[in-house]
Chain A
Amino acid sequence: MNPPRSRPVPASVDGALALLGTGRYVADRSLATAVFLAMRLNRPLFLEGEAGVGKTEIAKVLAETLGRRLIRLQCYEGLDTAAAVYEWNYPRQMIEIRLAEAGQETRQAVEDQIFSERFLIRRPLLQALTPDAAGPPVLLIDELDRADEPFEAYLLEVLSDYQVTIPELGTIKAPSPPIVVVTSNRTREIHDALKRRCFYYWVDYPNAERELEIVRLKAPGAAEDLTRQVVGFIQKLRKEELFKVPGVAETLDWTRALVELDRVTLDPATINDTLGTLLKYQDDIAKIRGPEAARILREVETELAAAPK
């Protein structure tokens, strides 16, 4: 069924884990299970979690490793069918009407011509339902919580039956359903009706061991000591009472920044200077900067010294 170059979906949880691994995504077995089930049973995967824990990345990795096309729909308030599903090409339609007038065509004929696929502009959702040479594409519906409730309600039909209805054309159904990944930052609750149609997974912050693995993989230029210190520091920072604790994305940004600054170990002055890459609220920065950062760093250093290499 699948043409060459694209790979079939994995047949087991281990397969899914290996697949994410080849895409250089360090995943929990629990996440691999959810990914596997979503692909196997043709259900959307609903990923919820704080910003910067790698939700969007999962869809990208899936598209890349499976050799499928990635179709991304970024949600925002007021997102409507014209931007998400389809739009008619009005200028061309108008020209067509003028031409038809000149050609003396009947009203019905004009209408049939105007509302044919030729004048249809396909937006992400419709694109995702269209057959693709490389196999069903990966559809990423990003930050669904930013869209408003009417759009969420519209998605119900798309996500449960993989079809959209265009009044002038009829219902368009995907021959083979796309792999759908929905992400949410939880700035509002998504309605249960939508979640019910998906496999839910809460993407949490990784533990120290896993985060170390991620940093080694994604920021290979960093010295081993620095990597350990950075991860230890951030793991401690996540336990502080902050308005917004740093995610994995911040960890990587920070590590890369430190590498650019040619640091091989952490010191309080460097932390203070680069805190802006980690914490994005002034209150948080004011709280951590200075003695607090030095204290955390001391704790990390004693722990690393005690731990066997």
Chain B
Amino acid sequence: MTGEADTAPEGTLTANLMHFARALRAVGLPIGPGRVIDAVHAVRAAGITNRSDFYWTLHAIFVNRRDQRELFDEAFRLFWRDPQLLERMMQMLLPTLQVPGEEKKPVNRRIAEALAGGDPARQRPPEIKEEETLDATLTWSDREVLRNMDFEQMSSDDMAQAKKMMANLRLPFAHVPTRRFRPDPAGHRADLRATLRASLRNGGDVIALKFRTRRHRPPPIVVLCDISGSMERYSRMFLHFLHALTNDRDRVFTFLFGTRLTNVTRYLRQRDVDEALAKVAGAVEDWSGGTRIGHSLAEFNRLWSRRVLGQNAVVLLITDGLDRDAGAGLGREIERLHKSCHRLVWLNPLLRYEGFEPRSLGMKAILPHVDEFRAAHNIDSLSDLAAVLASTAPRRQSPYIWKGRAA
């Protein structure tokens, strides 16, 4: 750092860092005032010698997830865009803010909005659409039916009733043992720490053993829900169900898929169901389009399975098994999925028909690899599901029973 920068009034730089942090916050990065202070300290420690160091200094402070990097990168490029940055920074001038219009590269809309409009009141109110609209900005794909979902259709009395029941539905998953312990007089392991503390209470004359036992807790749940056209009537209902599930317990991860996979876990964590579903509708681009189950599962296996399937996760696969790719590559991916999770439960709304047989190629590919195959077309069937999930039935492909099954 040069002496000039040391002695220059730091107020302007601080203000700029604050503005930058505000822009990042508007884009959606979780940045509190504490981080801004950190940033000022860090910049002071590292000094401003060149653009790349300055970039990585701020990166170390403001980014704390891999997927924030692209947003940060673009925001940085736009905010500190002035080519004479270095000299100007030395003089602690305000960087010029320009409206991203003449930029050659298409600029991420969220960032452009965050940088251009500082007005907090304008920041994207939750979009509540009165009717179905075609979103013209999303027309790069000709294969998907790109629509914004319309939740207003669900407002009939029956549906309202169903939603209410859905919100109260609890799924008592069989708890899995953890490696943690809790005090338990009937336990089988001695708890020496508690023993000693208790004995000292009596002056150490009597040392009576205290016991502890394993703690159990519900496993994480990963939901893969089909939102293609054939599932349309159900997937909306399921979203209410998934919202209730997400808010009922920790460690629920939800992915929606049609032709591509979307992680909607963070949106569903919203307490308010309408707000949550509006956000989900905004995030999903392939609503009510075709289905590519194999492709979507491959994406899940490659990008997410190692991140969310740890610690004995139970997977709920909600799909009718009608696959546009006619089950191509599906068998291999569903096998991989089954091998990576604790238990794979398939919920299929088509199962409500008497004498239903899995005829489609997609269904035939999935069926050999699921531990549980259940109907899911009304509240009752979901309540039945609760009973199944509470049981500790072994995996269908348990190594102990596979021989009998093959025979």
Contact = CB atoms under 8 A, between A and B. Distances in A.
Q: A and B: real partners?
A: yes
B207 A29 contact: no
B359 interface: no
A46 B66 CA distance: 12
Interface in B303-334: 306-308, 310-311, 332
Interface stretch (B11-19, B40-48, B85-93, B157-165): B40-48
A48 to B, nearest CB: 7
Contact of B53 (A13, A43, A186): A13
B263 to A, nearest CB: 11
A93 B56 CA distance: 52
A110 B307 contact: no
Given A195-B64, A243-B336, A77 B57 contact: no
Contact of B57 (A37, A94, A111, A243): A37
A307 interface: no
Given A77-B179, A187-B310, A114 B66 contact: no
Interface string B167-207: 00000000000111000000000001101100110011101
A37 B46 contact: yes
Interface in A178-235: 185-189, 192, 195-196, 198-202
Interface string B277-290: 00000000000000
Interface in A79-115: 80, 82, 87-88, 90, 93-94, 97, 100-101, 107, 110-111, 114
B204 A101 contact: yes
A102 to B, nearest CB: 12
A22 to B, nearest CB: 20
A241 interface: yes
Given A13-B46, A111-B200, A192-B30, A29 B60 contact: no
B301 interface: yes
Interface string B54-83: 001101110111100100000000000000
Contacts of B205: 101
Given A82-B193, A114-B196, A150-B180, A36 B204 contact: no
A33 interface: yes
A14 B63 CA distance: 22
Interface in A1-60: 12-13, 29-30, 33-34, 36-38, 40-41, 43, 46, 48
A29 B56 contact: yes
B109 to A, nearest CB: 24
Contacts of A100: 204
B52 interface: yes
Nearest to A93: B196
B233 interface: no
B302 interface: yes
Contact of A187 (B64, B196, B204, B307): B307
A148 interface: yes
Interface in A233-249: 241, 243
Contacts of B395: none
B310 A188 contact: yes
B302 A243 contact: yes
Contact of A30 (B49, B59, B311): B59
Contacts of B250: 149
Nearest to B192: A90
B35 interface: yes
B351 to A, nearest CB: 30
A291 interface: no
A241 B65 CA distance: 23
B110 to A, nearest CB: 20
Nearest to B332: A283
A247 to B, nearest CB: 13
Nearest to A168: B197
A290 interface: no
Contacts of B56: 29-30, 33-34
B200 A110 contact: yes
Contact of A48 (B66, B192, B196, B298): B66
A276 interface: no
Interface string A103-131: 00001001100100000000000000000
A78 interface: yes
B180 A97 contact: no
B64 A97 contact: no
Nearest to A146: B310
A43 B46 CA distance: 14
A122 B306 CA distance: 34
Contacts of B302: 241, 243
Nearest to A189: B307
Given A12-B47, A148-B178, A196-B35, A188 B311 contact: yes
Given A148-B311, A150-B180, A185-B306, 6 more contacts: A34-B56, A97-B200, A114-B204, A187-B310, A188-B311, A241-B302
Interface of B: 30, 32, 34-35, 38, 41-42, 45-47, 49, 52-53, 56-57, 59-61, 63-66, 69, 178-180, 192-193, 195-196, 199-200, 203-205, 207, 250, 298, 301-302, 306-308, 310-311, 332, 336
15 contacts: A13-B53, A29-B56, A30-B56, A34-B56, A36-B45, A43-B38, A88-B193, A90-B192, A97-B204, A107-B200, A148-B178, A186-B307, A196-B34, A200-B64, A241-B298
Q: Please list the 6 inter-chain residue pairs (A to B) with the smallest Cβ-Cβ separation, ordered nearest first.
A: A78-B179, A33-B56, A195-B64, A200-B64, A97-B204, A199-B60
